[in-house]
Amino acid sequence: MKIFIVALTLMGILFSSYQYSYSQTAKEYYESGYKKCENEKYIEAIPDLKKALETNNKKDKSYNTVLKGSTNALGLCYYELHKYETALKYYDEVILLDSTYAGFYFNRALVYGEMENNIGAIDDYTKAIKLNPDYAFAYANRGVIYLNIGYREEACEDFKKALDLGDNEIKSYYQKYCK
């Protein structure tokens, strides 16, 4: 019995020292931050996402996922916190990392829209559509921007395309402005 207790005690000491020496990987920080973003805990997510970027190692298989994912998620956090200049910085960075993903342009267009940079928003929605011609929300959002600046015909074309692609949320705009 005495040997068993000693063994358990030794295992406990070894386990607790392992816990204290263990540090999260960049991927774990990213996943933690991303989960907090999904749960709309944006302020809590930011330190994890920044730590993911700080600890990211080019030798890791998940390097690109962590780099792009964390950068994009930081843009989202700052967007949701209405810190548009900072959000824009992160979206600019992620587009430099990968200019082939439509979602990054879409996200930056949202920021431009909030900043009332209509030209920037239209340009980025257009880039998103070129990369993904079936991006219904990009057509819908670009249509709203067009409508706001007085380009009703272009807005209606985008609303119609968004509807054809299955975005039924834009139906009220289409019925009100295009019929």
Instruction: Tell me the CATH number of domain 121-179, given options 1.25.40.10, 3.40.1280.10, 3.40.710.10, 3.40.640.10.
Output: 1.25.40.10
With a pLDDT cut of 70, the percent of the chain lying above it is 88
Is residue 145 within 8 A of residue 154, CB to CB? The reply is no
- The DSSP code for 170 is G
Tell me whether the CATH fold assigned to 22-98 matches the one assigned to 121-179: yes
Can you tell me the distance from the alpha carbon of 159 to that of 162, in angstroms, rounded to the nearest whole number? 5
Who's near 135: CB < 8 A, 6+ residues apart? 102, 106, 128, 129, 165
The letter for the amino acid at 12 is G
- What's the whole-model pTM score? 0.86
Give me the phi and psi of 81, to 5 degrees please.
-90, 5
Give CA–CA dist 40/38, Å, rounded.
5
**Number of CB atoms found within 10 A of residue 133's CB:** 12
pLDDT, one tens digit per residue, over 90-146 is: 999 999 999 999 999 999 999 999 999 999 999 999 999 999 999 999 999 999 999
The pLDDT assigned to 23 comes to 78
Domain ranges of the chain: 22-98, 121-179
Instruction: Output helix, strand, coil percentages for the chain, rounded to the nearest 5.
Output: 80, 0, 20
Give the mean pLDDT of 168-175: 96
22-98 in CATH: which number? 1.25.40
Assess contact for 52 and 27: CB atoms under 8 A: yes
